[in-house]
Amino acid sequence: MNSFLNPIISLAPVLLVAMPVAGACFGWGISKLGLEFNRWTSFSNTIVTVLILGTVIFAPFRKGTQEQIDSQPTRQISVTLKLPEVTSAQSDAVSPRTFKWSLDSTSVWFLLLPTCLWPILVLFSHQIIDASRLHYFLLLLLQSVLTGVLVSYDLISFLSFLLLTTFCMLCLIRLWSGSRFRDEFESTMYLQFLGDGLILGGLLLAAVGYQWMQGVLLEAPQPVTFQMTQLLQGTASDLSLYPLAKAYWSTISPWIFLLLLTGFTIKGMFFPVHYGVTQWLHVVSAQPLSKPLPVGWYLVLLALITKICIYGMIRFMIPLNSTVGSQLSSVLAFWGACGFLLAALIAFVRRDLLQIVVWFLIGQTALTLTVLFTAGSASVSNFILLNVIQGLACCLLLLTTPLISDQKFSRTNKLLLMVSALSVMTLIGAPGLGGFTALIAFLWSLVNQSLVIGFCYLLGTLLFNLTLIRAFWQLVKQEHQETYALNDDKKTALNEKLGLACLAFSPAMALILFMGISPTTLTETSSFALHESHVHSSESPTTEN
């Protein structure tokens, strides 16, 4: 068994990136033959992805003792390119540059989000828009580049996949909206590329600053490294061991922190605000439309980009800014708690469930600052799980809510209502559902750190829970004035696919239902320090006889 699993585990990062691309090309080919693109790509690609992730998650327990498992917590595959050495006068000198794709506990949890979500996105394509082959092709490419962002262990790969994610997302938005929202599309494009530029500047400044710091410590010029492991762990280690490194890094760290925080905030947090300001959340009823606007697609992309920005904050903010975090931890934590509470207050005055979920995503992004700079290291790991579970619930709500109609006796409508109800119960932290124990542990950690911050988080949570329950109740009871009914043949075909829909929802349901108790096997170890801002070096004085 081990001889069969070891190659799959070692090649897992590459397979997870390559499988959606292979599925897209396969679906494009069979669609030329007259077969359905969505069925084939949804399940051939997703089943293989689920099997690979399951192998990565559970295979280490079959391989040896706990010491052997702890010594190799990650699954890595590296691609090494030998490039000409710039600093040497020799023309034939080479310097290896390694591009590494890997998996650890943090990336595995975030990978569960697109894995569970993509079958649903593919399945409901025709129910929201007239999906074309280009739509499916771009959708699977987006899954591939999102996976690439999560498995990248060097800055070049991470930034490349991040830019490709923006490009694929903009292509999908342009394909869906056409010429209807040209101004909003252009402003979204500028906003996304501005965030990418700031993130790019912050990470490059961190790489160059680490090179200069190493040159000062070793008293010799050092090559620039783009490896995340060396950059993040090396920075945290040098700052805890050498006062000179800490003094030097304190002059660069504030600028890195400002660039990264601004970039991730613009790309993730300003994105939903931009949708609300430009009225993308409102269906224009003045013009007779042949089909409803693809509101659900826009908002699901919004949720995914927001979660990627939260992943970037968790991955880079603490190891690169431990000095800033130790000095401004209380201010940043209070800022994040106030942002979460403010988002809850704004959502409370809303009536539409879609807008409430959007503000919930904004509040979760603001809450990340509180988690990173106030909560304990165990709560950070729990927050990762909670963020993925709630992100999946948000995406399900954003996707299924526009599809709910007033045909209450339709089996498809009952399925959508059931999924929406389960998602709302997950977001409010119902006992027995995903992330419940993580939510309690996180609240307890905040209360132990600061009673004011814990109170802000508790009040914001209660407001969000009340608002979500009220909005869902109104959604169930309201009478829709205008419905975009499907034709009879489409209704029949949709009802025949009910079993297929249940199969597509099954990974998401299993993830929500069976994560009621937070598992610790994957969150105990991680390649990167998740909470370095509270680690301080201590020197014990030696006594001489």
Spatial separation of the C-alpha atoms in residues 268 and 313, rounded to whole Å: 11
Quick one: 23 and 143 in the same domain?
A: yes
Please tell me which residue, 4 or 188, carries the higher pLDDT value. 188
Q: Element (H or E) spanning 494, and its range?
A: helix 488-496
Q: What mean pLDDT comes out for the span 450-472?
A: 90
- Report the pLDDT value the prediction gives residue 63, as an integer from 0 to 100: 45
Residue 179 has pLDDT above 80, yes or no: no
Residue 487 has pLDDT above 50, yes or no: no
Domain co-membership, 107 together with 130 = yes
Cα-based angle 271, 274, 279 (whole degrees, multiple of 5): 135
Write the pLDDT tens digit of every residue in 327-386. Answer: 777 888 888 888 899 999 999 988 888 889 888 988 988 888 888 887 777 777 778 888
Task: Examine the domain organization and report whether 372 and 277 are in the same domain.
Answer: no
Who has greater pLDDT, 479 or 152?
Answer: 152
Is 47 inside a domain boundary? yes
Is 288 in the same domain as 397?
Answer: no
- Does 522 or 236 have the greater pLDDT score? 236
Whether residue 126 is found in the same domain as residue 219: no
**Higher-confidence residue: 56 or 266?**
266
Mean pLDDT for the stretch of residues 204-228: 82
Same domain, 244 and 280: yes
One domain for residues 245 and 137: no
Sign of the dihedral through C-alpha 352, 486, 279, 197: positive
- In tens, the pLDDT along 119-160 reads 778 777 776 667 778 888 888 899 999 999 998 988 999 999
Can you name the residues that pair with 154 across neighbouring β-strands? Answer: 227
CB 213 within 8 A of CB 248: yes
Per the DSSP assignment, residues forming a β-bridge with 81 are: 97
Q: For the segment 63-102, what is each residue's pLDDT rounded down to a tens digit?
A: 444 444 444 445 667 776 666 555 444 444 455 667 888 8
Residue 149 covered by a domain: yes
* Residue 282 and residue 333 in one domain: no
In-domain check, residue 337:
yes
Structural domains in the chain (count): 3
Residue-level pLDDT at 479: 45
pLDDT in tens, 196-211: 999 999 999 998 888 8
Q: Give the pLDDT mean for 297-319.
A: 86
Q: Which two tokens stand for residue 328?
A: 């401004």
What is the three-class DSSP state of 524? Answer: coil
pLDDT score of 543 more than 50? no
In a domain, 391, yes or no: yes
Residue 132 CA, distance from chain mean position = 26
C-alpha 245 chain-centroid distance: 32
Residue 214 confidence class, pLDDT cut points 50, 70, 90: confident
| Average model confidence (pLDDT) across the chain | 76
**Residue whose token pair is 């949570």:** 461
* Predicted pLDDT of residue 91: 42
Confidence tier at 480 by pLDDT (50, 70, 90): very low
Neighbour-count burial of 519, counting CB atoms closer than 10 A to its CB (0-12 exposed, 13-18 middle, 19+ buried): middle
C-alpha R_g of the chain: 24
Question: Residue 520 above 60 pLDDT?
Answer: no
Mean pLDDT lowest among 121-125, 159-163, 461-465:
121-125
Confidence of residue 500 (pLDDT cuts 50, 70, 90): low
Q: What is the pLDDT of residue 535?
A: 38
Whether residue 484 is predicted with pLDDT greater than 50 in this model: the reply is no
**Predicted local confidence at residue 195, as pLDDT:** 92
Do residue 204 and residue 267 come from a single domain? yes
Q: What is the rounded CA–CA span in Å between residue 49 and residue 533?
A: 35
Domain range holding 39? 1-58+100-176
Structure-derived torsion over alpha carbons of residues 85, 199, 160, 180, reported in degrees to the nearest 10: -150
**How far is Cα 400 from Cα 491, in angstroms, rounded to an integer?**
16
Residues 295 and 233 placed together within one structural domain of the fold: yes
Structure tokens of 418?
A: 């059931």
Match 């070096």 to its residue by tokens.
537
**What is the band of 483 on the pLDDT scale with cuts at 50, 70, 90?**
very low
Query: Does pLDDT of 57 surpass 80?
Result: no
Q: Is residue 536 part of a domain?
A: no
pLDDT (0 to 100) of residue 431 = 79
Compute, in degrees rounded to 10, the torsion defined by CA atoms 343, 378, 76, 506. Answer: -60
Give the pLDDT of residue 402.
78
Supply the pLDDT for residue 283. 45
Q: How far is CA 443 from CA 59, 358, 447, 458, 461, in A?
A: 33, 22, 6, 7, 10
Q: Calculate what percentage of the chain has a pLDDT beyond 70.
A: 72
DSSP class per residue in 301-317: HHHHHHHHHHHHHHHHH
Residue 517 lies inside a defined structural domain of this protein: yes
pLDDT score of 43 more than 80: no
Between residues 523 and 448, the one the model is more confident about? 448
Mean pLDDT in residue range 396-413: 73
Element (H, E) at 425: helix 411-427
Least confident interval from 136-140, 218-222, 239-243, 475-479: 475-479
**Domain ends where: 176, 200, 234?**
176
Q: Is residue 350 part of a domain?
A: yes
Together in a domain, 291 and 352: no
Domain end, chosen from 276, 310, 344, is at 310
**Range from 62-76, 443-457, 499-513 carrying the lowest mean pLDDT:** 62-76
Among the candidates 283, 310, 337, a domain finishes at 310
Q: Would you state the pLDDT for residue 463?
A: 93
Does 16 share its domain with 152?
yes
In a domain, 405, yes or no: yes
More confident residue, 490 or 366: 366
